[in-house]
Structure 1
Amino acid sequence: MNEFPLTNVPAIRGSRSEMAVLRIATSLAGAAPLNLKAALGTLDETELRLVQGAITEAATGEEG
């Protein structure tokens, strides 16, 4: 599944982890459901830390 639901452009292509980051961002924006376990399983340590910060910010409203 390489379609990005927030746009009307053709499918966006990227690595598995890049697409997972886009799906997580889309989910945090409230635009699409997400299997978080599956998405997190594709991330490397750096990407995981960035996503953790985004989740913290989304939950608290404060930059983490």
Structure 2
Amino acid sequence: MVEDLSWFVSSHCANQGHCVQIAHTRSGPFIRDSEHKEGPLLHIRMREWAAFLAPTQP
């Protein structure tokens, strides 16, 4: 399953390294270190992701 994920990184981080990559799924995003792509993944449930992003929304 993880091999099939589409990863992206913020345009604010382009070519700087030291970033995280995110792959969205129905159950919530997976997050990984852009410099250690084979390392551990963090999976966050959609409810927690929405709560994390809420303060950034207008």
Q: Same fold (TM over 0.5)?
A: no
Return the TM-score normalized by structure 2: 0.24
Higher helix share: 1
Higher strand share: 2
